Structure 1
Amino acid sequence: MGSKTRLPVNTKVILISLLFLFLLLLIIRTSFPSNPQQVSAPSHISLNTASLSGPSESSDAEKSMASLSSSAACPTLPTCAKTPPSLANALVYYASTNITPQQTFAEISVSLRVLQRRSPCNFLVFGLGHDSLMWATLNHGGRTLFLEEDKAWIEQITEKLPNLEAFHVTYDTKVHQAEELLKAAAGEDCRSISDPRFSKCLLSHKGFPNEVYDVEWDLIMVDAPTGYHDEAPGRMTAIYTAGLMARNRESGETDVFVHDVDRAVEDKFSKGFLCDGYLTEQEGRLRHFTVPSHRTRLGRPFCPP
């Protein structure tokens, strides 16, 4: 999720257009109320025609004024809405940089549709990169938290984007251990639902700040840690822990996204621990799972049949 990949300039143009469209929709929603109130003609204006004309003419005039008073209205003027600072910063940032997010437009659109429905919400992202400002902006008004393995990279990104909230985390696994970990996780300990801090499953990551475990995350994006070579940490524990957090919430559902599912680890672990039965959509290298709470229904199997 770092700066390793650059997409074509066309993708950057599409992304900026997407952000402008989001801005336009936001301004429209805030500028035009759904039930505009009509403004009646001033009630203090009156016309006494009784002394100037006969009864018939007076009656007709009064009826006309009554009709005018009840029907006359001024169109409601739209209120002036400023661009939210987070959105303005994102537009400027992406318009002035040649670095673009690693996900494709189609992949980003999958998460965007969910954010449009659920934001403002709690959004946990494994990985910190040049697309982080985009995620935080699309979750305008909500909380977006990033977990990053590279401390120096956090300092570099947050120096440019100080409003991003990021925690440094460490992993004690290696990609070359993936098959061994997958076999070891087949036992009942890894099928039990509990707080990840107290799980007996060796795949449950217990080293995140307590704040990460204490929040019920509505969306979780797994796009880190590094997983493209044998000595990299891999995403085994990130994927499992994301699924456990989703199942352990009090109620409701968690939308979990896993990127780079063209790789063996992301493919096998997302299917094994987020489950084919919870798979909602796949676009390119991105999979979207909708994982329900298991605490509201006792006896629910770890994966649906």
Structure 2
Amino acid sequence: MRSKTQLSCNLKLVLISFISIFFFIMLFKSSLFSFSQPLTSTSKTNNLSIISSQQETEKPTKLPECPSLPISPTCTKNPPSLVNAIIHYATTNITPQQTIQEISVSSKILQKKSPCNFLVFGLGHDSLMWTSLNYGGRTVFLEEDKSWIEQIQTKISGLESYHVVYDTKVDQSDELMRIGREDNCKEVSDPRYSKCELSHKGFPSEIYEVEWDVIMVDAPTGYFDGAPGRMSAIYTAGLIARNKENGETDVFVHDVDRKVEDEFSKAFLCEGYLREQEGRIRHFNIPSHRARLGRPFCP
């Protein structure tokens, strides 16, 4: 009986102890949860602050907007001469006599010098092109055939051209070369007052008075003996260039595969001034002789 009573007491003691430990564990967990919750909340808040700060740091800086530039009508429209040239060459089957390689020689110089004063011996299907390449400058054409001037102007209006008369013939070229080697033809002066027979004195007066920056000799006709030939045109172009008050003049001669153009360009524009040849075109760069007195006719 005592033993049974003792066992019962031991069981009660064990049960009480177990219940006490259970409540202690529950109380401890409750305290631990309460303690950790604000810590986690604070951690989350701090993490959010860090992320927000990083986002603000990584957010790209907005650059100030560039002020809009006023648009001028001249910037939004093509030059009239360019528009006319595009339409003209897009609707015609006739192309300039010069090849694209030959044209590129003079177009490079026009790119550097334009707008400038550009004198062209000859009026043709390429005239609108030359005017457009010298946009903003003055381009003047000298033509031997009056009826041809009227025909071209009917198709292409606005070109500044003048009719000129030549009193030479291709079959006189040898005699004119002999005359050109005389001392009178080595003197640099206004072509109108030159004593050299090669100097052309019948151009409009303003041709002699303008300071030309670029000259193209592609006329008059010179492919048969009775044609005027380019003897005086080449010589006078060289004289105009040398008589310029200051600076240099770029002179181009086309059809140098022919005897007259070949020999007269070398003699009177000078091989020492020759800068480039491409196909049938030669480019000479002639300095002013008025700016440096005593300069020889050819270097």
Bin the TM-score by the shorter chain: 0.7 to 0.9
**How do 1:1-150 and structure 2 match up within 5 A?**
72-74=64-66, 76=68, 79=71, 80-150=75-145
Tell me what 1:241 maps to.
236
> Does 2:283 match 1:294?
no
> Does 2:277 match 1:282?
yes
The superposition leaves residues 78-125 of structure 1 with CA deviations (integer Å, 9 ceiling, x where unpaired) of 845201111000000000000000000000000000000000000000
Equivalent-residue separation in structure 1 for 2:110 and 2:153 (angstroms): 23
Give the partner amino acid of 2:64: A
> Does 2:178 match 1:183?
yes
Equivalent-residue separation in structure 2 for 1:177 and 1:203 (angstroms): 11
Give the partner amino acid of 1:220: I
Q: Which moved more, 1:73-82 or 1:203-212?
A: 73-82
Equivalent-residue separation in structure 2 for 1:201 and 1:146 (angstroms): 24
Structure 2: state its 5+ residue gaps: 1-56
The superposition leaves residues 202-244 of structure 1 with CA deviations (integer Å, 9 ceiling, x where unpaired) of 0000000101111011000000000000000000000000000
Q: Specify which of 153, 159, 172 is matched with residue 164 of structure 1.
A: 159
Q: Match of 1:129, SS? A: coil
CA RMSD of aligned residues (A): 1.8
Greater C-alpha Rg: 2
Q: CA deviation at 1:74?
A: 3.0
> Does 2:262 match 1:270?
no
Give the partner amino acid of 1:74: C
Give the partner amino acid of 1:96: T
Equivalent-residue separation in structure 2 for 1:78 and 1:238 (angstroms): 48
**Bigger RCO (CA 8 Å, 6+ sep):** 1
Q: CA deviation at 1:160?
A: 1.1
Q: Match of 1:241, SS? A: helix
Equivalent-residue separation in structure 1 for 2:76 and 2:239 (angstroms): 41
Equivalent-residue separation in structure 1 for 2:162 and 2:152 (angstroms): 12
Q: Specify which of 185, 203, 221 is matched with residue 208 of structure 1.
A: 203
Give the partner amino acid of 2:206: E
Give the partner amino acid of 1:83: N
Q: CA deviation at 1:75?
A: 6.3
Give the partner amino acid of 1:216: E
Tell me what 2:249 maps to.
254
TM-score, length of structure 1 as denominator length? 0.76
Equivalent-residue separation in structure 2 for 1:298 and 1:112 (angstroms): 31
Equivalent-residue separation in structure 1 for 2:241 and 2:86 (angstroms): 32
Tell me what 1:226 maps to.
221
Q: CA deviation at 1:193?
A: 0.5
Equivalent-residue separation in structure 2 for 1:252 and 1:81 (angstroms): 35
Tell me what 1:42 maps to.
none
Tell me what 2:46 maps to.
none
Q: Percent identity?
A: 70
Give the partner amino acid of 1:256: V
Structure 1: state its 5+ residue gaps: 1-63
